[in-house]
Structure 1
């Protein structure tokens, strides 16, 4: 018996591609995006060990590390900046494998446009700068507390700031997080940024969150006419209604 003949067969998926906000877009092929970036920008690309690709700016003070076989919700990308090729890193970002393609491409484009050296300590001014595109798009901030969140009126996406980490210049905790999904503790995708991440870089990401678009694959269940007809044919026929006969006494 084929699926179309089985009355309990699962519905066939109906797939369509539609324009969605950037934070809801499909991730695309991250490895292909990285390869294209390295080729276009002329950054040095190396693979060592066999499961890790490194893409390095000519100055060797801005580096990208990509894990080729990471779990979709684990950190796949690490982008780090250094004062000198042999110094400790000054700031870094990590991205999970399901980060939407438009946001990833915007980040890489911004990285290639400027010389991202040491950044200033997080202040009220840099917070206001980084979140201005979100407020202009009517995203709502939460009341002050350890965690500050900026969210749109509709949509499960947020920019978060750990105020405790932000106020401590020596903190090794993540200061900024961009994430999507109903569960903030298990996001669908996430970008984490350390203290000292340049406000200009965060502002450009916020612009993409607020105004960017991409393509998303939407799947809905559909049941074919053939299946409905064949399923209905298996139902027992209704009993005929004849003239009623009064009960005998």
Structure 2
């Protein structure tokens, strides 16, 4: 008996409440067959015509593309929303990834293994007996219901969770070794779910990914530069101030050189995507000296932050402005300490200031959005950047917030040159 034709249509879109999870909407007579294939590929049903793909390794766009390709091979019709297609086409990387030697494919393999462990725990195939804070990460001991490696130790969490290289013959042996390694830090049962794990499980259950308190108000969007704002600001820089000289060695690049010959700003006119570096700014120890520090700013960076950096370089404050932490504390930002870094999040979570004391290239990060890996824009500053400039940036970032109740930050004694008054954001450049 011949098979029925694969008459089903599947439309893939980004989840509106949990980026980058994906919703698949099915229609037409054989949609049940399409849903069966989607289930095998990791999608879970949330309604009669909808399924969701939510992963802890944040690779939903990648696996959606593979799912769409397989469905097309089976004869089903697929449609991918343009916003999701952009995510599929963007090769992003995890920030501060602890295994920098891994290739992108190897990172996906690590994430896929972490996803498998997460799914086994969620489905009850892997029972966690104990957990502990191992200093750098969370560790645990558990037993599989079936399989060769039945009693194992786990380390880390979310997209980095892995099994250790040693498997144990009995549960008692695995638990005894765990107690020996972690002593008084051992706690019963599994560790509390991370925020990401909670969101993923709620999505797969067809529930909103946030708590009741979090859903009482819509999530705020980070401030982002509109198309043409950077171009207008650059034009105003050369039109209104003679201390900056313009060079355009290539059609897509403009260089602004300060008359001191110790400061250089490079602007890429072709930068469009949120991950594209639009500005590279550096300060040098004399006209032919070594570079002191460097900053890179992506295409969506709000103009006031660019202005703050160039303003500082044109007229540095004569008096120390203190530490950026002081500014953020006065602005009621939320601090959080991690093993290798410290972060300050704006009250509405739309901007984050991060310090990684042991890093060289990206010692300081300022970005828009809660998640660096999906940030709307990013400013990266190397070691050597003056704390007075960081304080100026922190103050400017706090001023970007719309809340009128934000405490007034400590004033910074930085003169403001007239040429850096806000430039009108009019007319994007066309090429």
Give the TM bin, normalised by the shorter chain.
0.5 to 0.7
Offset of 1:35 from its aligned partner?
A: 1.7
Query: Judging changes above 3 Å, is the alpha-carbon distance between structure 1 residues 93 and 55 closer, same or farther for their aligned structure 2 residues?
Result: same
Pairing 1:157–2:351 present: yes
Query: Judging changes above 3 Å, is the alpha-carbon distance between structure 1 residues 111 and 105 closer, same or farther for their aligned structure 2 residues?
Result: same
How far apart are the structure 2 equivalents of 1:22 and 1:213?
10
* Root-mean-square deviation (Å): 2.6
Please list every run of at least 4 consecutive aligned residues from structure 1 whose deviation after the TM superposition is greater than 6 angstroms: none
Give the structure 1 partner of residue 298 of structure 2: 96
Offset of 1:54 from its aligned partner?
A: 0.5
1:24 to 223, 245, 250: 223
1:60 to 246, 261, 274: 261
Pairing 1:112–2:314 present: yes
Higher relative strand content: 1
Offset of 1:181 from its aligned partner?
A: 1.9
How far apart are the structure 2 equivalents of 1:205 and 1:22?
19
Q: So what's the TM-score if we normalise by structure 1?
A: 0.65
Q: So what's the TM-score if we normalise by structure 2?
A: 0.39
Conserved? CA contact 2:341–2:354, under 8 Å: yes
Superposition pairs of residues 170-249 of structure 1, within 5 angstroms: 171=360, 173-212=361-400
Q: Spell out, residue by residue over 1:139-198, the C-alpha distance to the aligned partner (whole angstroms, 9 max, x if none).
A: 121124202100123222100011221xxxxx3x21000001243212100100000101
> Number of paired residues?
179
Greater relative contact order (Cα < 8 A, sep 6+) = 1
Conserved? CA contact 2:354–2:366, under 8 Å: yes
Q: For structure 2, list consecutive stretches of 5 or more residues without a partner in the other structure.
A: 1-219, 403-431
How far apart are the structure 2 equivalents of 1:22 and 1:34?
25
SS at structure 2 position matched to 1:60: coil
Query: Judging changes above 3 Å, is the alpha-carbon distance between structure 1 residues 115 and 45 closer, same or farther for their aligned structure 2 residues?
Result: farther
Conserved? CA contact 1:102–1:213, under 8 Å: no
Q: For structure 1, list consecutive stretches of 5 or more residues without a partner in the other structure.
A: 1-20, 117-124, 166-170, 215-249
Query: Judging changes above 3 Å, is the alpha-carbon distance between structure 1 residues 201 and 55 closer, same or farther for their aligned structure 2 residues?
Result: same
